[in-house]
A and B are shown apart, each in its own frame.
Chain A
Amino acid sequence: EVQLVDSGGGLVQPGGSLRLSCAASGFTFSSYAMSWVRQAPGKGLEWVSSISNSGGSTYYADSVKGRFTISRDNSKNTLYLQMNSLRAEDTALYYCAKVPPTGYSDVWYFDLWGRGTLVTVSS
């Protein structure tokens, strides 16, 4: 079955760190760019970060640049998001998403989504 399983969310204090994981199965993980998209409670979608299929190129939203790091391990079919210096406004459901080929290195659509993992930043 083609699926993404997000994990690693939880309650963390402001200024703390958390690492999210996304396990992929049912498709050739190393062939696709991947992304993280978040959704604050009761709010809309916000793109967070993307990574090329090889992991050689990474992209970040201004709101997380310098604090979050996206990475992948193609041997383990797993995507990661290291989140440091967390703030209350980072509280959200974080989805990993697969990017279909678009022909462009920095144009991404999201055609397969995980169920999301909830990150709550609070003291």
Chain B
Amino acid sequence: QSALTQPASVSGSPGQSITISCTGTSSDVGGYNFVSWYQQHPGKAPKLMIYDVTKRPSGVSNRFSGSKSGNTASLTISGLQAEDEADYYCCSYAGSSTYVVFGGGTKLTVL
């Protein structure tokens, strides 16, 4: 069982917006502003999409945005495109003993 809880799957049509939630505790997501999100296409390595809750690395589309409220972080993808179909993982700092926890992953299907 993963430390962070994500929905197993979400779906949306091209052009729509979707949001993936990531629920943790006050010891990880809620306690620090160190949440990141990764995109993973089948058979490929993960790619960093969001860090520090809301920041996008250079080269990542501004259709991807992150937010946090309490113990739940969220990834929103606007203007869905076929190429966005992938698995998405949230990740959080969890203090100076556990350090890093990941969510179980969410499969995004673009209908």
Contact = CB atoms under 8 A, between A and B. Distances in A.
A4 B103 CA distance: 24
A107 B52 CA distance: 10
Interface residues of B, number: 23
A95 interface: yes
Interface residues of A, number: 23
A98 to B, nearest CB: 10
Contacts of A61: 99-100
Contacts of A108: 99-100
Contact of B46 (A102, A106, A110): A110
Contacts of B2: 44
B93 to A, nearest CB: 5
Secondary structure at the A interface, as helix, strand, loop or mixed, is loop
Given A44-B89, A45-B38, A45-B105, A106 B99 contact: yes
B34 A111 contact: no
B64 interface: no
Interface string A28-51: 000000000100000011110010
Given A47-B99, A115-B45, A116-B45, A110 B38 contact: yes
B12 interface: no
A59 B96 CA distance: 10
B26 to A, nearest CB: 17
Given A45-B102, A47-B101, A115-B45, 16 more contacts: A45-B38, A45-B89, A45-B105, A46-B102, A47-B102, A102-B34, A106-B99, A107-B34, A108-B100, A109-B36, A109-B48, A110-B36, A110-B38, A110-B46, A111-B57, A116-B45
B48 A44 contact: no
A44 B40 CA distance: 10
Nearest to B50: A109
Interface pairs A-B: 9 shortest CB-CB: A113-B45, A47-B100, A44-B105, A45-B102, A109-B51, A111-B48, A44-B104, A109-B36, A107-B93
A71 B2 CA distance: 27
Contact of B99 (A44, A50, A116): A50
Contact of A44 (B45, B57, B100, B103): B103
